[in-house]
Amino acid sequence: MAVGKNKRVSKGSGKRGGKRGKQVETMARKEWYDVVAPANFEKRQFAKTIHNKTQGTRIASELIKGRVFEANMADLAIENENTHTTKNEDAYRNIRFIVQDVQGRNLLTQFHSINMTTDRTYSLMRKWCTTMESVVEAKTADGYVLRIFVICFTKKQDNQLSRNCYAKQRLVKWVRMRITNMITRRLAKLDISKAVNVITRNILTDALAKRCNTIIPLRDLRIRKVKVTRWPKYDAQSLSNAHGEIPVSKEADPREVEEAVEAPAVEAAKE
């Protein structure tokens, strides 16, 4: 058989094969960035990420846009003795941010979604009650469309002797209608930053529970999930207003990379 006809044998795979290029350490071609949350969060720089340096037409600042980062709400909060707030109160929420702009080594992000942790969701489940979940599409004043999942449960009335506390279907529909109307009306007056504050600080859920408890006794009214289904056209000014003063990114000193040295040949074992 002629040389080179066997497709299973690649060219240059032997000892006398093709020339190897110069070996460069992988990390030497990369650079670090700080992920910056909007100004309505206490801790701004909450993560670091790595990306390849700009090479030719592959511009790093353009390729890194659109990345999504996830953090726990407790990691974005600073414990305050005056307000007596602890990080454990927000530990059941995971929040995501999407990169929209790059300034130096800072990645400016915007809100992407919120999820309640699985263990927290399962801990709310009980027997002998009705679970009500409402899905609301609300639009903010600056054009963001949010899909909000609200969950709540019925509870027993005072001095109730019955084991269960099931709700009639007409009351369930009434509660869902009130939740939808209140969320749509309130978020229509707020921009995305204020809407996130209202959701994460339980201001919206407290108002919903107060209004819906007049229909039927409820417990554990929570916003289980929030996600942005439609973004407005990118506006650099609105993103700059959401971030305000950007913290200074501290760049570490470059480390020296040593060249690899071949290991000494192992002597043959004596017979």
Looking at the domain assignment, is residue 139 inside a domain? yes
Residue 263 lies inside a defined structural domain of this protein: no
In a domain, 2, yes or no: no
Looking at the structure of the chain, the number of domains it has is 1
Determine, yes or no, domain membership for 4: no
Is there a domain that residue 248 lies in? no
Q: Where are the alpha helices (DSSP H) in the chain?
A: 60-63, 118-123, 169-187, 192-200, 203-212, 236-243
Question: In DSSP terms, which residues pair with 51 in a beta bridge?
Answer: 31
Which CATH number characterizes residue 200's domain?
A: 3.30.479.30
Q: Answer yes or no: is 11 within a domain.
A: no
Q: What is the per-residue pLDDT for 83?
A: 47
Could you tell me the CA-to-CA distances from 181 to 45, 192, 219 in Å, in that order?
Answer: 36, 18, 20
Residue ranges making up the domain that contains 186: 30-243
Written as tens digits, the pLDDT of the chain (271 aa) is 566 566 665 555 555 555 666 777 888 889 999 999 999 998 899 999 999 998 888 999 899 999 999 999 999 987 665 544 555 677 899 999 999 999 989 999 999 999 999 999 999 999 999 999 999 999 999 999 999 999 999 999 988 899 999 999 999 999 999 999 999 999 999 999 999 999 999 999 999 999 999 999 999 999 999 999 999 999 999 999 999 888 776 655 555 556 656 666 555 555 5
Q: For helices 192-200 and 169-187, give the axis angle rounded to 10 degrees.
A: 140
With beta carbons less than 8 A apart as the criterion, state whether 240 and 39 touch.
no
Provide the sign of the torsion angle of the four alpha carbons 113, 119, 121, 124, taken in this order: negative
Hey, what amino acid is at 249?
S
Task: Confirm whether 22 is domain-assigned.
Answer: no
Q: Is residue 221 part of a domain?
A: yes
Q: Quick one: how far is CA 118 from the chain centroid?
A: 15
Residue closest to 108 by CA, chosen among 188, 46, 191? 46
